[in-house]
A and B are shown apart, each in its own frame.
Chain A
Amino acid sequence: MSKRVGVEVSIAVADAVALARAEVISAYPITPQTHIVEHLSELVANGHLDAEFIPVESEHAAMSCACGSSAAGARTFTATSSQGLSLMSEILYHPGPMRLPIVMVVANRALAAPISIWNDHQDIMVQRDIGWIQTFAENGQEAVDLLLHAFRVAEDKRVALPFIVNIDGFTLSHVIEPIIMPDQEDVDRYIPAFKPHYRLDPRKPISMGPVGIPEVYTEEKMAHNEVLKASKRVILQGWKEFAEIFGRQYNPVEVYRTEDAETLLVTMGSISETAMTAVDEMRNAGKKVGLVRIRLWRPFPGPEFRKAIGKAKTLAVIDRCLPPGAVCGPVGAELRSLLYRVPGAPKIFSFVAGLGGRDVTVDRFKEIVDKADMYAKKRPVELYEVIGVREK
């Protein structure tokens, strides 16, 4: 029987990697992700996990190594954060078009300067277009469940794409939560053995990652984009099977008290739990407010999002990332594009909050909703607003 245990989320994530029977882990420590790979190295060293743990010299090497290992046909895992993710950047663009189903957990953290080890989404938003499937977890249970789902979907022959599960640094990675750890038999049933289309094998040599001359480059990019978009079907099927085996249902977009809501908060990641408390309090005060949470970020679930917002009049979109000089935050820009000139589409207001570990409290969410409602009546001068910034 699966057991509900009190455990640090990073440790639970590492245990889930072991349950998924990862065969190669190449990783480099970086706060706040370190506990994940530290625990995995213990599991391997103590003989609890039959895998190769490769302690590489940098994140660039970690991802290069993961590409080679996945190409050789091994179930491959790594994890990183922030500057480490940035150091991987050059290699992150390879496994998508090359169809290497590496699974990675990113414990989201701010980017320097100034140096910050604390949580926001700037690290992953820099890597928005690397062509991996990307999900965002809200709590520890979801981190474990989404990780198992990542292995199930990434290695599916119809997909064969790399997969990132984002968990908020510290807020999730370092918090002890009650988590139901699944049984090994159930995980084995959910995640079959990895059978790649092709693998590096000296008995049957092939070349992976050759040059793409101008006569084929566009077609290679098109093929990758199409398979990433088409992966949504398998992502949904993976969550359906997950519910059948483990009893917990996940969707690309989650809604909370959106029925008859006029204003909707839009969030990703762990701040959504605080947002739900804020929604409850505002509902008690008679405000028609709800919450829409994006779990699947890439491929973006456009139809599911449009359905989730129903007939709401106003969206208050919260980005945990400030792209300097941009029109607004990446989530805000995505939703403005998605809903541009759609008949009956709500007004979209973009907010930046929770940078570099700054808490987004219940009161902040109320402030955001109040501001969005105000801007719905009187158009704001700026296309986005930084919440909680001190002027003097």
Chain B
Amino acid sequence: MAINDAIIGWKTLPFGGHVLEPGSTVKFKTGDWKSQHPVTDNSKCIKCGMCWIFCPEMAYQQTEEGFYVANLDYCKGCGICAHECPKNAITMIAEEGGKCQSA
């Protein structure tokens, strides 16, 4: 079992438990519990960007060649991108051996 001791004292917590720094979640790799991840077949991809639009985690980024690649540090494996892709270019691949892949 993981040890989850305190990481900050109650006297030094931010007021009201607020997060005072916008976008601070980017510091945490939040995609480590996904059970599957998307893989795009670039030969089918038409670079329409639907995966980029629909991704609820904004995990997709465009490469210099114009393709879209999911950042697996943040991807939760929901599969919305694969569902929305008009060319069925995205396949969801199950994580293996209880370990997840990281970009």
Residue of A nearest to B9 (CB): A219
The answer to whether B103 has its CB under 8 Å from any CB of chain A is no
Residues of B within 8 A of A222 (CB): 10
Residues of A within 8 A of B5 (CB): 215
Residue of A nearest to B5 (CB): A215
The answer to whether B16 has its CB under 8 Å from any CB of chain A is yes
Residue of B nearest to A198 (CB): B18
Interface pair B7/A216, CB less than 8 Å apart = yes
Residue of A nearest to B7 (CB): A215
Interface pair B19/A216, CB less than 8 Å apart = no
Interface pair B18/A223, CB less than 8 Å apart = no
Rounded to whole angstroms, the CA-CA distance of A208 and B14 in the bound complex is 11
Residues of B within 8 A of A210 (CB): 17-19
Interface pair B16/A218, CB less than 8 Å apart = no
Residue of B nearest to A220 (CB): B17
Picked from B17, B20, B22, the residue with its CB within 8 Å of the CB of A212 is B17
A70 to B: closest C-beta gap in Å: 11
Interface string of B1-13 (1 = CB under 8 A from A): 0001111111101
A154 to B: closest C-beta gap in Å: 14
Choose among B4, B6, B18, B21 the residue with the greatest number of A CB atoms under 10 Å from its CB.
Answer: B18
The answer to whether A125 has its CB under 8 Å from any CB of chain B is no
Interface pair A207/B19, CB less than 8 Å apart = yes
Interface pair A97/B22, CB less than 8 Å apart = no
Number of A-B contacts (CB under 8 A): 62
B1-55 with Cβ < 8 A to chain A: 4-11, 13, 15-22
Interface pair A216/B13, CB less than 8 Å apart = yes
Interface pair A97/B19, CB less than 8 Å apart = no
Choose among B4, B6, B7, B16 the residue with the greatest number of A CB atoms under 10 Å from its CB.
Answer: B16
Picked from A198, A213, A215, A216, the residue with its CB within 8 Å of the CB of B16 is A198
The answer to whether A286 has its CB under 8 Å from any CB of chain B is no
Mostly, the B contact residues are loop
Interface pair A98/B16, CB less than 8 Å apart = yes
Residues of A within 8 A of B7 (CB): 215-216
Interface pair B17/A205, CB less than 8 Å apart = no
A216-273 with Cβ < 8 A to chain B: 216, 218-220, 222-223, 226
Which range contains the number of A residues in contact with the other chain? 20 to 34
Mostly, the A contact residues are loop
Rounded to whole angstroms, the CA-CA distance of A206 and B18 in the bound complex is 7
Residue of B nearest to A205 (CB): B22
Rounded to whole angstroms, the CA-CA distance of A214 and B1 in the bound complex is 13
Taking A223-B10, A226-B10 as contacts, is the C-beta distance between A206 and B20 under 8 angstroms? yes
Interface pair A223/B6, CB less than 8 Å apart = no
Interface pair A206/B19, CB less than 8 Å apart = yes
The answer to whether A99 has its CB under 8 Å from any CB of chain B is yes
The answer to whether A358 has its CB under 8 Å from any CB of chain B is no
A105 to B: closest C-beta gap in Å: 24
Residue of B nearest to A219 (CB): B10
The answer to whether A197 has its CB under 8 Å from any CB of chain B is yes
Interface pair A206/B22, CB less than 8 Å apart = yes
Rounded to whole angstroms, the CA-CA distance of A212 and B8 in the bound complex is 12
A204 to B: closest C-beta gap in Å: 9
Rounded to whole angstroms, the CA-CA distance of A37 and B50 in the bound complex is 48
B5 to A: closest C-beta gap in Å: 7
Residues of A within 8 A of B19 (CB): 206-208, 210
Residues of A within 8 A of B15 (CB): 99, 160, 197-198
Interface pair A219/B8, CB less than 8 Å apart = yes
Interface pair A216/B6, CB less than 8 Å apart = yes
Rounded to whole angstroms, the CA-CA distance of A216 and B12 in the bound complex is 11
The answer to whether A209 has its CB under 8 Å from any CB of chain B is yes
Residue of B nearest to A204 (CB): B22
Interface pair A197/B16, CB less than 8 Å apart = yes
Residues of B within 8 A of A97 (CB): 16-17
Interface pair B20/A223, CB less than 8 Å apart = no
Residues of chain A touching chain B, judged by Cβ–Cβ distance below 8 Å, are 97-100, 160, 197-198, 205-210, 212-216, 218-220, 222-223, 226
- Residue contacts A-B, CB under 8 angstroms, 21 given: A98-B18, A99-B15, A100-B16, A206-B19, A206-B20, A207-B18, A207-B22, A208-B18, A209-B17, A210-B17, A210-B18, A212-B17, A213-B4, A216-B13, A216-B17, A219-B8, A219-B9, A219-B10, A220-B10, A222-B10, A223-B10
